[in-house]
Structure 1
Amino acid sequence: MKRALITGITGQDGLYLAELLLSKGYEVHGLIRGQNNPKLELVRNVVPDVHLHTGDLLDQSSLTRTLKAAAPDEVYNLGAISYVAYSWENASLTSQVTGIGVLNMLESLRLWAGDDLSGVRFYQASSSEMFGKVQEVPQRESTLLWPRSPYGVSKVYGHYMTINYRESYAMHASSGILFNHESPRRGPEFVTRKVSQAVARIKLGLQDDITLGNLDAKRDWGFAGDYVRAMWLMLQQDQADDYVISTGSTHSIRDLLDVAFARVGIDDWTPYVKQDPRFMRPAEVDLLIGDSTKAKEQLGWVPEVSFTQLVEMMVDNDLAEQKALARS
């Protein structure tokens, strides 16, 4: 039985990945920050068979202790402050957790594994936000990185540190440069879930409108459940490497609104949508679209859920959730 450790297990990716690994017969361990973590019960309800450990990416001793207890064959480092807008509000903390946290995990893994480092495989959750002010379209593994947020800068640090440990210590360390991936488990602070939740509430008469920022920003959106499969595939390869994971299609916020409102029978969403400069990024990333040819050819990975299916899935989930809340 293989053993895996997942940091950031409370997030959507962590939950989907834990479900995937459990279905493959893994013994799964998860790192939880703080004993009173508000998402602790969520993890216990969704993946009750996961062994949970308390630790912090900023506390290297807790990482070493967790590695000793879990003794993993695979480590998936998904832990980060992942909300881009917040990274401007607290650039220092974002840099520590999302950047230095990767170094702490890599170094803890190196020290724990010792001479047997080749027996442990490491995955780093890199991000399309590293491309920022895009230097070519579509973006691929060789595209120059030009991050446009403290979050993106922090991810670049973690990405290159992972490459450095791979090259310096022959560590099987891979990075997935994941483009935007969403699901019904996405937090309501992210625009996709903000939209799906608001659309459900508007349909049910619980909310009048939604306020957004730049409606013309474009993203390459996929389903988180598809993307965690790519993470697992990376760690099954003989050689570690970096891979862009994306759908290869781009959609604007307007496209998102079109599909979401249409799902509840509203053809013209303009009366329900307001714009506010407060929701505009100081430095916008206007067009992200990935080229996942390498992942397709080397991993055999292709996305299975389309953009429309994804948005409709999220709206349907929020309709059911909001109806249940209204009844309770």
Structure 2
Amino acid sequence: MKRVALITGINGQDGYYLSRFLKSKDYDVHGITSCSKPGIGEPPENCYYCDFAEGSNLNQILGTVQPDEIYHLAAQSHVRLSFDIPVYTAEVTGVGTLRLLEALRYYEEQSQKKIRFYQASSSEMFGKVVESPQSETTPFHPRSPYACAKVFSYWQTINYRESYGMYACNGILFNHESPRRGEAFVTRKITKAVARIKLEMQDKLYLGNIDAKRDWGFAGDYVEAMWLILQQDKPDDFVIGTGKTHSVREFLEAAFGAVDLDWKQYVEIDPQYYRPAEVELLCADPSKARQKLNWEPKVSFEELARLMVEADMRLTQQEKILSEASS
């Protein structure tokens, strides 16, 4: 009999790769989404609508799906935007997790079924880091409304595990990108601009802090780690990353270099893209995941930048052809 997985935020980047991965493992995959996201695709089959700002139909969804595993990926996940809509970010990204955990606790009590729960925690929780690299024991110092909401969700997940014996885990994922990354995120903003500049559809790219350093990996690799976390005998929390750090400047070099352009000729700094509180450096210590999950990232930083540029080149070429045909 197939295992049943429920993925919240299924039509986002991670939901896309995770649903494909779970189907390759012969899961029956169901999803929750709050809306259809242009550019990422229509919601898949077996998809339910829920607004995590109020979550009134979560009990109904759990009763209908009867999942074996839940992957909670849904969030207002754009860090810079969270400064503009902090209350909404707290409601969806923070309290939304609590709403789901409470609905899950009620469902387990009623059904007498144990569900495995994965919470998508974030490296942004480390914020103003006190040590580097960051591991499962590194203290949090969140530097955005988004990061504060994620810290709340992290501790609620542990609280439900310890208070009610639930199989509830946190995956503290460092930055993970792909061609399906939202266009507001810096890596995708860069690769889309590279394609448009190469095809002479754009002149300049405006960015904020290009000296910020991150631990970047491929989303397709990281969803396997999510699954592995829920396959362990006991629930636990894991840091997932490459253990290598690169600056936004280095990503610019790799992305523009993929099409033989010099980024310095096209990139300008615009103060409006700076965050009120910057996170300068994030770097994972994934040794626990390596030892207990036997997980290793497969796609390198350079390969990631290249595959994102190549995908955006294809999309932009199609866009240009359609634009010229209609003019």
Using structure 2 for the length normalisation, give the TM-score: 0.96
In structure 2, C-alpha distance between the alignment counterparts of 1:54 and 1:258, rounded to whole Å: 40
Residue equivalent to 2:295: 301
Give the match's secondary structure for 1:60: coil
Q: 1:234 to 1:215 in 2, by over 3 A?
A: same
Q: Which residue of 2 aligns with 1:157?
A: 152
Q: Any conservation in 1 of the 2:13–2:40 contact (CA below 8 Å)?
A: no
After superposition, residues 88-167 of structure 1 pair within 5 angstroms as 88-114=83-109, 119-167=114-162
> 1:224 and 2:219 equivalent?
yes
Whole-angstrom CA distance in 2 between matches of 1:315 and 1:228 = 21
Distance 1:43 1:242 in 2: 32
In the alignment, which residue of structure 2 is the partner of 1:25? Answer: 26
Match in the other structure for 2:319: 325
Asked whether the 8 Å contact 2:195–2:316 carries over to 1, the reply is yes
Distance 2:185 2:90 in 1: 20
% same residue:
53
- For the aligned residue pairs, the C-alpha RMSD in angstroms reads 1.3
Verify: 1:271 aligned to 2:272, yes or no: no
Contact 1:213 1:276 in 2 (8 A): yes
Unpaired segments of 5 or more residues in structure 1?
A: none
Say if 2:40 and 2:180, in contact at 8 Å, map to a contact too: no
| Count of residue correspondences | 321
Instruction: Answer whether contact 2:53 2:88 (CA < 8 A) is retained.
Output: no
Structure 2, unmatched stretches of 5+, are 323-327
Which residue identity does 1:103 align to in structure 2? L
Please state whether the residue corresponding to 1:173 is helix, strand or coil: strand
Q: Is the 8 A contact 2:143 2:278 kept in 1?
A: yes
Q: In structure 2, what is the equivalent of residue 262 of structure 1?
A: 257
User: Structure 1 residue 131: deviation in Å?
Assistant: 0.1
Secondary structure of 2:70's aligned partner: strand
Deviation for aligned residue 1:10:
1.3
Letter paired with 2:141: W
Task: Give 1:286's aligned residue.
Answer: 280
Match of 1:42 in 2: 41
Q: Are 2:160 and 2:168, in contact at CA under 8 Å, matched by a contact in 1?
A: yes
Is the CA contact (8 Å cut-off) linking 1:118 and 1:170 kept in structure 2? no
Counterpart of 2:41, as a letter, is: L
Secondary structure in 2 aligned to 1:230? helix
> Which residue of 1 is the match for residue 325 of structure 2?
none
TM-score after normalising by structure 1: 0.95
In the TM superposition, residue 181 of structure 1 has moved relative to its aligned partner by 0.4
Tell me if structure 2 keeps the 8 A contact 1:250–1:289: yes
Residue 80 of structure 1 deviates from its aligned partner by 0.2
